Every structure is written in structure tokens, then in C-alpha cells.
Amino acid sequence: MSEQADQDMARKPATAATRAAHAAMAKALPIDDGADFQLADRGFLATVPDAEVTGAWSQRPFGFMEGERPDTVNPSLWRQARLNARHGLYEVTPGVYQVRGFDISNITFIEGETGWIVIDPLTSAQPAEAALKLLRECKGDRPVTGVIYTHSHVDHYGGVLGVASPQDIAAGLRIVAPEGFLEAAVAENVLAGNVMSRRATHMYGGLLPKDPQGHVDSGLGKGVSTGRVSLVAPTESITHTGQTIELDGIEIRFQVTPDTEAPAEMNFFFPKFGALCMAENCTCHLHNLYTPRGAQVRDAKAWSRYIDEALDLFAADTKVMFASHHWPRWDEGAIRTFLAKQRDLYKYIHDQTLRMANHGLNATEIAELLRLPPSLEAEWHTRSYYGTLSHNAKAVYQRYLGWFDGNPANLHKHPPEAAGRRYVAAMGGADAVLAEGRRAFEAGDYRWVAELVGHLVFAEPDNRAARALQADSFEQMGYQAESGPWRDFYLTGAQELRNPRPKSDTPRQASPGQLRTLPADNLLDSLSVRLNGEKAGAATPDFTAVFTDTGERFAVRVENAVLHHRPGDGGPPVELTRGLLIDLVVGAKALEEAQLEGEGAAALAELLPLLDRFDLWFEISAP
């Protein structure tokens, strides 16, 4: 490959247009406002160098945050990234402590009568263990006497075995979570698991170098830890608002907030400390109504209403408010203002999107027009570091009206490759498209480059010049993005256009770890979306799966190329464990090795080849 070709596929510096966009934003914002830095530093007690946790986490690669802002990073995101680079143990108020910056999320410790109550034990065990060690060194070597999961996302429960041993759990350690936690934790990402996992590789920047031209921050936190993840079921559920429990001698009052930031989530208040935990419902940025890795759209109206209810329930007694990400707030007046503005942030987006939709504007048009009112725009905690106004407006539109904007021209569009070939031909061929793309790039119109040259990439995926130009446009948009996930999407897309992964004949599957945690019912559900309709054709395998590990029996049959399952008996039985079924489905074990027992073995053998295996590394920015 020539030097010129190498250069075309190299990472590039910020262009003049990107530097100008950054300068304009820096000028428009009070970028030297230090108020959040004071909040983020308040109560600091101790840390470990670089928050280093062997094999799972380190802030060392982010040492460049101590210097001047590189011109490849949006100035507002840079500010948030510096706040999220702080790490260590902090006193929120005497009796309430947080370790921040050891993962994307916070772990909080409450001083009980005899030990420590843990709120949200991070994503993986090693950072949670390191946080507990730091706490014990500074504030007392006491046992863990209870665990609370605020909600059903993995960065709030996955590290539980770092703070509690299997023996503690067997001995009856209390683990408290909102009702519906387990179902939401196991089911939210199952049916669309492969595609969500693949898109998450873009959203969280896990494939990018950590440097000024790569991943700098997720907005929500510095990044996700990579230690041991597990799911330990709660021992008790919080079912209703107003429910009060005593945990290690500490009274806790709960507010359940289902279908807000997560399907199962709750806020709660500690009267003894005047401390309010807002879970992930109120954080120091605009959160996602729609998460770009892909998920069902969240309910902005309910989210806002529950924040309003929290104000009513708790604000009068609250002296400090903390959350599962970012830094706390002190002072009753400041907390009220913060909560009221967070409440109105989500309601404003909801209401204004629907107002404009009712005037006949479509999602793209609304996203382009929507601006916050001055009172909300003046706050840092309403800014688009994670969710953006743009994609959240589209989310509200989608929740009420779906993908179609009503214009018949958009009812039956050609898919990207077919459209790409037609556009390229209509524009006079590849060279003409590239010439116009380069002109737009020089003019700094990167959104237009992405749309235009995207047609050429899909028409001619092996066109190096097209891939290089498309990557260059993604890269500048990544540099300009205020949102951590937008930056990581753009920069990961650029990286993959420049360095395509070699194609594979066999599916490179994501780890089947998630499947193994599923109840049998969810596991069988996940098989139904693997059934290849064309292959299934008129086949009608029919058997009863007898799970010898759980004693459960499920009637499983295929009819009209649809996989049905229900508890109970159906066709002839076949005995196996859930683990063996997973191994057979993902190909970790061959059918001959399995030595299945029962008359239904032949029907299971007929079903297995009809199930697809998914490749995690499908292309996103190219066909």
C-alpha cells in the first residue's frame, strides 16, 4: 500500500471548520464557571492513584485531561469529561459516602448501626471491591449489612460480588430492589441482544483508543469497567410509593418510578441523614429518552411526573441529594431548583415535540428546530452530554407516531444499497460524487458529506476513496459533538471504515453469558427470534423440553414457521439442562456429543439447524 493510501486512512487533526465551531461554543458558554467543580470536589477524603483496579479499570489513560483542551474535543464535553475524571471516596454528608470515578457509575455507602449499606455496586466486582476497601480504610472496617439496587441496568448491580460473598448471600444478606427488577434486568436486552451489543460497541467507545482523538468520556461517566459481572437476585422488592423499611437500623422511605430511566427504578430518602437518592432519574446532564445503542423509547411524561412527585414527597426534608452518576447537590433551595428544572427538561421536550408534530412537522424537522427555553438552557445539567435534544425529540415522535412521517415518498423507500446505486448513477458516477463530497468537506458541511458519500459507500463498499472521505466527515462530527455517545458513534464509525474487519464465514458470536442467566421461559423466547422462517418452511418439530436442572417442562413446537412454547407437556419428551440447550444453540457443543435422552430427541435435532447464529461484528457504516 502506498504512503498516500496510508495517509488517507489515518486519523486526522481538527479542521478549521471544527476549530471555529468549538470557538463559537466556548464563547457562548460560561466555560470557566467553576460551580460544578466545587460540588464534584466537595467532601473528598482519599483515592488510589489513577483509580487503578487491576484488570478492570483505570483512569490513567485519561491523564491528558489535566492539560489544555485539545482542539479535537468539544469544549463543553471537555468540561464534563474533566468533572468525570475526578475519582475517589467522598463524604456526601456524615454517614453517607460515595466512591466516584471507579466505573461509569457511583457506588454509595450508608453507615448503618452495625455495618455498611451499599447502594449500586457498580458494573463489575473488582472496582466495587476496591471502593469498599477504600471506604473501610478511611471510615471503618465494618461488614456489609445490606445492598440496594436503584434500578435494573447492569452498571448498578453487576459488581455485587465485589461487596458480598456467596456465603453472605446464602446467609441471608438483604438485597433490596424495585419490583420488576429481575425481569427487567434479564429481559430488557434479550430479544434484540446481538444488535444492541454491536451498537453498544459504538455508543461507549470501547473499541477506540483513549486519547484526544478517541474516547474521552461517556458524558454519564468516564467509561464502563471490564471486570467480573454477575446478577444476584434481590431478596425483597419495593412495590409502592410510601413504603418504608428499616435496614441495619436505618429508616428508608421509597418512591417507585417504573418506566422512567429504566423499566424498574426507585428514588428513596434517608430521614436520619436528610439525604435523597434520585437513582438515575436526575443526573448532571440531559439523559436519554432513546438510547442510541437501540432500545424501546422511554416515557418522558412519566419521568417528569415522578420527579415532580419526588419534589412533593422529599424536598422539604432534603439537605443533600445524590444520584447513581455524577456529583451531589447540597442546600434545599439549590436542590429544589435542580429537581424542578430536571422535571421540566423532560416535559418540555415531550410537549414541544408533540406541539410541533401537531403542526405537521416530522421528527427530523422537529429535532432541527427544538431549543430549550432560556431558563433551562442556562443550566449545565440540562446539556446534551449523554442524551441530546435532537435524538430525544425524535424519540418522543417515535413513541407517539412511529417511524413513518406520513409522506408517501417515505412509505416504501429503497434500502441503502439499492438507493446508493441509483443516487450514484443519477449524480454522474463515483468520481462526481467524490468531487461534490470533497467540496462539501472543504466547506465544513460534514453532515452533507455523510449523507452524500454514504450513498457511494453503500453502492461501492470497496471504494477506498469513498470510505476515507466518509470516515473523515464522521471524524470531524465526532470532534464537534457535545454528547459522549455521539462522539463515540462517529469516531468508531470512522475507525471501522478505515480498518474494516476481515469477513468471517462463521458467525463471531457474542459471549453466551447473558443467555445462561435467563429463566427457561426467556431462553425459549430468545430461540423464537433465531428461527429462520425460510428454512423452517413447512417443518413442524414438536417436543416437550424437560429441564433436568430446574425440573421445568415446556411444550415446544414449530407451526407456520413460528416457534411456540408454553409451560407444560406437548410432544414427546427430551431431557436436557438449560446449559446444554444453550451450548447446542450457539454451537459450543455438537448434537452427537450431547447424547440426548428421550423420544423427543429427534424433534429437537430437527429444530436446531433451523436456528440462526448471529454475528456480533456485522457492518454498520457500510453494507
Residues at the contact surface with Zn ion, assessed by CB under 5 A: 105, 153, 155, 280
Instruction: Assess contact for 234 and 245: CB atoms under 8 A.
Output: no
> Could you tell me the smallest distance in angstroms from the CB atom of residue 282 to Zn ion?
12
> Could you tell me the smallest distance in angstroms from the CB atom of residue 32 to Zn ion?
29
> Could you tell me the smallest distance in angstroms from the CB atom of residue 324 to Zn ion?
6
The CA R_g of the chain, rounded to the nearest whole Å, is 26
Three cell numbers, residue 364:
427530523
- Of 78 and 149, the one with the shorter C-beta distance to Zn ion is 149
Place of cell 422539604: 316
Q: Closest by alpha carbon to 185, among 177, 173, 195, 196?
A: 177
531-537 contacts at long range (C-beta below 8 A, 24 or more positions apart) = 531/558, 531/561, 531/562, 531/563, 531/610, 531/611, 531/612, 532/610, 532/611, 532/612, 533/561, 534/561, 535/609, 535/610, 536/561, 536/610, 537/561
- Of 213 and 281, the one with the shorter C-beta distance to Zn ion is 281
> Could you tell me the smallest distance in angstroms from the CB atom of residue 221 to Zn ion?
8
Instruction: Assess contact for 73 and 88: CB atoms under 8 A.
Output: no
Q: What is the 3-state secondary structure (H, E, C) of 352-363?
A: HHHHHHHCCCCH
Local structure of 126: helix, strand or coil: helix
Local structure of 65: helix, strand or coil: helix
Place of cell 451531589: 328
- Taking CB atoms, the residue at the shortest distance from Zn ion is 155
The angle at the Cα of 311, spanning 305 to 313, to the nearest 5 degrees, equals 100
> Could you tell me the smallest distance in angstroms from the CB atom of residue 424 to Zn ion?
43
- Of 90 and 547, the one with the shorter C-beta distance to Zn ion is 90
Residues in a beta bridge with 177: 237
- Of 103 and 111, the one with the shorter C-beta distance to Zn ion is 103
Residues in a beta bridge with 329: 321
Within 67-199, strands assigned E span 88-93, 96-100, 107-111, 116-119, 144-148, 175-178
Phi, psi of 270 (to 5 degrees): -110, 100
Query: How far, in Å, CA of 617 to CA of 68, rounded?
Result: 36
- Residue 14, exposed/middle/buried by CB under 10 A (0-12, 13-18, 19+)? buried
- Residue 421, exposed/middle/buried by CB under 10 A (0-12, 13-18, 19+)? middle
The angle at the Cα of 291, spanning 108 to 154, to the nearest 5 degrees, equals 35
Place of cell 419490583: 179
Q: Closest by alpha carbon to 195, among 511, 618, 591, 623?
A: 618
Query: How far, in Å, CA of 442 to CA of 434, rounded?
Result: 12
Instruction: Assess contact for 323 and 283: CB atoms under 8 A.
Output: yes
Query: How far, in Å, CA of 276 to CA of 332, rounded?
Result: 11
Q: In 10 A of CB 231, how many CB atoms?
A: 17
DSSP 563: E
> Could you tell me the smallest distance in angstroms from the CB atom of residue 100 to Zn ion?
13
Instruction: Assess contact for 268 and 253: CB atoms under 8 A.
Output: yes
